[in-house]
Structure 1
Amino acid sequence: MRVLSDSGGNEADGARLLESLLDALARWPDVGIRARLSIEQWAGLSADEARVYQEIGISAVRGGADWRPAADKIRELGRLRYEPAVPALIGLWEKCPVHPVAVAAAHALFEIGTAEARDALRHGIHDHDHLGRFMALKVMFTDDGTAWDNVGHLFSGECLATTAGLTAAAEALGLLSPRSFPRTDHAGQSEEARDPLSHDRRWLDLCVSLRDHEFLGPQARQVLGDADPAITGPALDAARALRAVQTRTPAGRHLRPGDLVARYRDGDHRGVWRDLGAVDALDDVWRAEAEQVAELTMERVRRNASSLTAALIACGWPVIDKQALSGPADDVEDLLRELEQITGSPVPPALAAYWRIVGTIDLVPRGTWNAPFPPGVPEQLAVADPLEITDLSTAWFSVEEWQEESEDLHPEIVGPLEITIAADYLHKANISGGAPYSVWLPHAGADPLVRDEEHCLTFTDYLRRAFAGKGFLRLDQQDEWVAHGVTRDQFAEMTGWLESVEYEHIEF
């Protein structure tokens, strides 16, 4: 921790600045009306409550008080490291709704660097706001002692059992790269803090152990990729050798060929897929059975897609049949073989059967992006996540990007091949949104998860949800729609229109 002495001039300047700042804040009625929220508190808010919370900050910035001089004074207090300002700065950091002022207060507290100031910042490790977590980690990484002793506890099993803990751990990993802190911050860091993997084996072992972690894997692989290959290479080679000799998880109970197929044909559709989902790694017997079940399933999916698309179009939904159901790609078999060679593993049966039998389902009304919706068709359904799953040929750009990005990486930090299968629900409505929905390969089981989609479903369950919702996956998000101004009359119109869509739904 850096400690610099203040001159008498700095003391006088600091006292005048603090007095001026406090006078300005006394005339600012909204200065302390929004407390910081933790990740758990934010998750507990309804859509309407979240909107109100955000609007407090927006209104405060747009209000009559000019916050810029206050922010300038705060930054100067930090530069002077004027310790008597710490209580006022903590109050601004913890409750000021004007974001630029709170940001200035946080950085000033770090510059002043007293125990009280650093403790206030350290408490933000589970803040909903990214800056709170970043400042807490910045304090931890510059505390006295080793980085591992100060930050390593974030990777305990207890911490990683919560969303807040995972978020903090992910951002801590993100700061392990030598490029994480600006150059001006390196002066206050030890050599170990600037390059922890090279100076503390515990960080290297942690990142290697987390490289396949569901949530932390991308950050761990990024850190390993940025580090010195002379340091990471031997550890990754050892991890690869260990992976090669590890035995695969047994499939489970004995399976008699034909059992699952017979059960599926007898109507136990979900039970069969539940049993398949319980097998982490398919052996030859289970894979052969899974492939037959997947073919039967996707034949039913194709019939559902055809029937539903016709019903939607008949009720005015603005797509055309050739767009919605263009069929499998002509080169699907060649691409499936190539994909197996690239990933070193067969394509999961559910996904392979979909691409072979169905190919594409696209109910996204892209024709309305620059034109009005047809009369009588509720436009609100555009953000209800209409079903879209692309064929393998269309999704192949994901494979090419992955190959290009992984060309120079150690095989153990390449990471999964994320194949894009659909845009996220906002992009489907021509609104800037988030990551596309994807599946990760290789996957040794029968039915991979659909990633970056809020319901966390396997591929077949994702299809089930879509067909149960008559082609829409976010009909359960009506609170969010209300918060954005959808009226009761519009809900009634939407409900009535959906009820008018009738199609023959086949269980699968």
Structure 2
Amino acid sequence: MTSSPDWLSRYESGQRDQVWHELRGLGSRVRESEWAGEAQLVCDEMARRARHNVEVLVERLSEDGYRFHTNDDEQAPVPAHIPPTPAASAYAAWLRQRFDAVPMTLLSWLRIVGDVWLVGTHPKWPTSAAADPLVIELEGARLPGEPMREYVEEEWAEWLDRRTDDPGTAGLFELPVAPDRLHKDNTSGGSPYGIVLPDDCADGMFTWETPMPFVSYLNWVFRNGGFPWSSGEQGQWDVRFRLAGDMLPL
């Protein structure tokens, strides 16, 4: 590129797919270019739109009488959305220090969106927790102290040990951000959903049953009203259709 790509204005005008294609195509070079700042602006605007969607979903679910609760037998109440706390920026800086390279979209979510937990039960859709409700908990704000930082440190140390003992099977490190869809439904399941680190691209790789770019995953979730997995229950379709109305594409 020899001229300004004008990513932000193009993104805001609706050329979102093209902009993400260009940003992802640059890979790690997005950090080296003179437009790294504008790439971050696009990621920040993505996060602002995502926060809008989250707030709309929480409002609509609350109006429906949805109970946001833990994914266990106790089903204790859980706040559905905790905006970034004053500690979010420090945690973002710690992630960059620990992993050197962190995707711009991940940092934007941490600084602008906050923690989201849509696990719960809908009065007209008893199996809603089986539909893989959106959970992205980066800061761990609903837990006391700094448990998320401690948890990540432990996971990172274990992964480094595996890489030393058996580098052929260690794979990539995945920053845990959510329980998998079975654990969300209080069922024994697999590994947590995560984001691959280190990664100095604009958008990160979200790892779940079908790894995909983080923004692609979020768009898929919002298109389905925050519940992307079909639970096979008759009452789910009307609920999801209403929840998904007017979601902003990222």
TM-score with structure 2 length normalisation? 0.82
1:505 aligns with 2:247: yes
Partner Cα distance (1:361, 1:255) in 2 = 38
Check conservation: 2:225, 2:241, Cα contact below 8 A.
no
Classify 1:401/1:495 alpha carbon distance in 2 versus 1 (closer, same or farther; 3 Å). same
Cα deviation, 1:291-343, whole Å, max 9, x if unaligned, reads 11001111111111101111122122212897111111432222222222222
Partner Cα distance (1:463, 1:398) in 2 = 24
Map 1:96-495 → 2, pairs under 5 A: 253-254=1-2, 256=4, 259-281=6-28, 282=30, 283-319=32-68, 323-345=79-101, 347-365=102-120, 373=121, 376-393=123-140, 395-405=148-158, 406=160, 416-451=172-207, 453-475=208-230, 481=232, 490-491=233-234, 493-495=235-237
Q: Which amino acid aligns with 2:86?
A: D
Q: Which amino acid aligns with 1:507?
A: P
Classify 1:341/1:415 alpha carbon distance in 2 versus 1 (closer, same or farther; 3 Å). farther
Instruction: Give the match for residue 218 of structure 1.
Output: none
Q: Which amino acid aligns with 1:269?
A: R
Partner Cα distance (1:382, 1:500) in 2 = 17
Higher strand share: 2
The offset of 1:254, in angstroms, is 3.6
Check conservation: 1:363, 1:386, Cα contact below 8 A.
yes
Instruction: Give the match for residue 144 of structure 2.
Output: none
Partner Cα distance (2:171, 2:209) in 1 = 22
Tell me the SS of whatever aligns to 1:278. helix
Cα deviation, 1:395-437, whole Å, max 9, x if unaligned, reads 4344211443337976x95864421010000000100001110
Partner Cα distance (1:409, 1:436) in 2 = 19
The offset of 1:462, in angstroms, is 0.9
The offset of 1:360, in angstroms, is 1.0
Classify 1:408/1:265 alpha carbon distance in 2 versus 1 (closer, same or farther; 3 Å). closer
Partner Cα distance (1:280, 1:429) in 2 = 36
Check conservation: 2:206, 2:217, Cα contact below 8 A.
yes
Classify 1:401/1:426 alpha carbon distance in 2 versus 1 (closer, same or farther; 3 Å). same
Check conservation: 2:223, 2:244, Cα contact below 8 A.
no
The offset of 1:460, in angstroms, is 0.8
Partner Cα distance (1:392, 1:343) in 2 = 16
Tell me the SS of whatever aligns to 2:68. coil
Moved more, 426-435 or 260-269: 260-269
Cα deviation, 1:193-238, whole Å, max 9, x if unaligned, reads xxxxxxxxxxxxxxxxxxxxxxxxxxxxxxxxxxxxxxxxxxxxxx
Task: Point out the structure with max Rg over C-alpha.
Answer: 1
Tell me the SS of whatever aligns to 1:433. coil
Check conservation: 2:180, 2:189, Cα contact below 8 A.
yes
Partner Cα distance (2:84, 2:211) in 1 = 26
Check conservation: 1:382, 1:429, Cα contact below 8 A.
yes
Cα deviation, 1:28-54, whole Å, max 9, x if unaligned, reads xxxxxxxxxxxxxxxxxxxxxxxxxxx
Partner Cα distance (1:408, 1:507) in 2 = 39
Classify 1:255/1:363 alpha carbon distance in 2 versus 1 (closer, same or farther; 3 Å). farther
Partner Cα distance (2:161, 2:245) in 1 = 48
Classify 1:291/1:500 alpha carbon distance in 2 versus 1 (closer, same or farther; 3 Å). closer
Check conservation: 1:316, 1:377, Cα contact below 8 A.
no
Partner Cα distance (1:260, 1:385) in 2 = 32
Unpaired stretches in structure 2, ≥5 consecutive residues: 70-76, 141-146
Unpaired stretches in structure 1, ≥5 consecutive residues: 1-252, 366-372, 482-489
- Identical amino acids, percent of aligned pairs: 28
Instruction: Give the match for residue 33 of structure 1.
Output: none
Check conservation: 1:363, 1:387, Cα contact below 8 A.
yes
Moved over 6 A (4+): none
Classify 1:272/1:317 alpha carbon distance in 2 versus 1 (closer, same or farther; 3 Å). same
Partner Cα distance (1:344, 1:450) in 2 = 18
TM-score with structure 1 length normalisation? 0.42
Classify 1:358/1:382 alpha carbon distance in 2 versus 1 (closer, same or farther; 3 Å). same
Instruction: Give the match for residue 72 of structure 2.
Output: none
Tell me the SS of whatever aligns to 2:205. coil
The offset of 1:390, in angstroms, is 0.2
Check conservation: 1:382, 1:428, Cα contact below 8 A.
yes
Classify 1:340/1:324 alpha carbon distance in 2 versus 1 (closer, same or farther; 3 Å). same
User: How many pairs does the alignment contain?
Assistant: 231
Tell me the SS of whatever aligns to 1:464. helix
